[in-house]
């Protein structure tokens, strides 16, 4: 009998009838090096061989998903990006669905975050805007190196101070990400946003804050995608690890949290798999979606 780490919660047997597997990226399908492991790519290929669709449900911009979509062989299944603010084709092109922040509100919030000295990234349909003295550029450089190795385009980035918040808002602002604000900044921003009831905040990593339109969420986008594909909730298996995954994990009965995830996500999910450092997504897919009971725990 196998000994699983404390906190792992697995099905008693294979889950029958799964037709779509939807995975969060960072902390979930990606390993600690921000890559798909060989085991995870093998699991995705095995899903494809069985005729089970696979997609990504991510807080990332579509500009930082292209390489991963190609590696995973997603094909025709739409992809969910920017906390559910966009549903797109893996091949690119115009969104199948989008939910940007109202332009006037986006311009005001962007200007406020800049004046307050916050380290932000503003994600639009065309660019990722950062302040000139940002500490976040390394994240984009990391993806660009991966993209270059796969002959894919880099992430389009621009400097906030070289344009205006109104011009940025005209590009459709889907998400304003605040990198690990301190307690004072966090409280001040939450208070400021009370005046904007059509937006909401969430957390996708660390102590970060993500500002999106209120209707945008991973849960709402995955529910919409399931409806588009004609699927019942129990035919979807979704994976996540962080606060912004909780709504999605609680909405689908065959949801799976990562052992490395936050307590709130683990409590919301139907199951808890091994951590991403031990190929938890691949393990669950192979054992409990595909029924490969001999697949070894890594």
pLDDT tens for 201-215 read 999 888 899 999 999
**Domain membership flag for residue 9:** no
pLDDT of the residue at 207: 86
Write down the mean pLDDT value for the chain: 96
Q: Which residue has the tokens 């957390």?
A: 203
The domain of 60 spans: 20-98+217-289
Task: State whether residue 159 is helix, strand or coil.
Answer: strand
**Domain membership flag for residue 169:** yes
The pTM score is 0.95
Q: Report residue 94: phi and psi, to 5°.
A: -65, 145
**Domain membership flag for residue 294:** no
Is the CB of residue 8 less than 8 Å from the CB of residue 42? no
Beta pairing, strands 236-240 & 20-23: parallel
The terminus-to-terminus CA distance of the chain in angstroms comes to: 15
Last residue of a domain, one of 195, 213, 231: 213
Extract the residue ranges of the chain whose pLDDT is less than 50: none
Last residue of a domain, one of 154, 184, 213: 213
CATH number of the domain at 73, please.
3.40.50.1000
Q: Please count the other Cβ atoms lying within 10 Å of the Cβ belonging to residue 215.
A: 13
- Strand ranges across the sheet with 120-124: 157-159, 128-130, 120-124, 173-178, 209-213, 199-202
Beta pairing, strands 236-240 & 199-202: unpaired
Q: Are residues 201 and 229 in the same domain?
A: no
Last residue of a domain, one of 180, 213, 246: 213
pLDDT of the residue at 296: 82
**Cβ neighbourhood burial of 32 (10 Å; 0-12, 13-18, 19+):** exposed
Going by C-alpha positions, the residue among 21, 22, 25 that lies closest to residue 47 is 21
Q: Are residues 229 and 203 in the same domain?
A: no
**Domain membership flag for residue 86:** yes
Cα–Cα distance for residue pair 170/160, rounded to 1 Å: 14
The DSSP element (H or E) to which 54 belongs, if any, is strand 53-56
Token output for 81:
């990006």
Q: Which residue has the tokens 């003295």?
A: 133
Q: Are residues 206 and 283 in the same domain?
A: no
pLDDT of the residue at 1: 63
Counted domains in the chain: 2
Q: At what angle do helices 183-193 and 103-115 cross, to 10 degrees?
A: 150
Query: How remote is the C-alpha of 35 from its chain's centroid?
Result: 14
Q: Which residues pair with 55 in a beta bridge?
A: 22
Beta pairing, strands 157-159 & 120-124: unpaired
Q: Are residues 264 and 277 in the same domain?
A: yes
Q: Are residues 135 and 200 in the same domain?
A: yes
């Amino acid at each position: 009998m196998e000994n699983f780490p404390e906190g792992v919660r697995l099905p008693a047997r294979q889950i029958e009838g799964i037709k779509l597997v939807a995975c969060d990226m960072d902390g979930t399908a990606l390993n600690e090096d921000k890559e798909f492991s060989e085991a995870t790519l093998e699991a995705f290929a095995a899903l494809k061989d069985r005729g089970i669709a696979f997609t990504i449900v991510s807080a990332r911009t579509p500009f930082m998903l292209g390489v991963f979509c190609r590696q995973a062989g997603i094909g025709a299944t739409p992809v969910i990006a920017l906390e559910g603010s966009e549903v797109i084709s893996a091949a690119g092109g115009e969104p199948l669905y989008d939910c940007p922040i109202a332009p006037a509100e986006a311009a005001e919030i962007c200007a406020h975050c800049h004046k307050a000295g916050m380290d932000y990234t503003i994600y639009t349909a065309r660019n990722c805007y950062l302040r000139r003295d940002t500490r976040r550029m390394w994240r984009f450089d990391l993806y660009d190196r991966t993209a270059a190795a796969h002959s894919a385009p880099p992430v389009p980035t621009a400097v906030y101070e070289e344009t205006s918040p109104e011009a940025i808002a005209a590009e459709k602002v889907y998400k304003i990400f605040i990198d690990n604000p301190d307690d004072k900044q966090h409280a001040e921003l939450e208070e400021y946003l009370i005046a904007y009831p059509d937006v909401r905040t969430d957390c996708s990593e660390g102590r970060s804050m993500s500002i999106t339109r209120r209707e945008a969420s991973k849960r709402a986008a995955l529910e919409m995608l399931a409806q588009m594909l004609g699927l019942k909730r129990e035919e979807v298996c979704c994976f996540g690890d962080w606060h912004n995954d909780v709504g999605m994990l609680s909405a689908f009965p065959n949801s799976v949290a990562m052992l490395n995830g936050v307590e709130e996500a683990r409590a919301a999910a139907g199951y808890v798999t091994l951590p991403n450092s031990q190929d938890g997504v691949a393990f669950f897919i192979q054992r409990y979606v595909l029924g490969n009971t001999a697949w070894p725990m890594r």
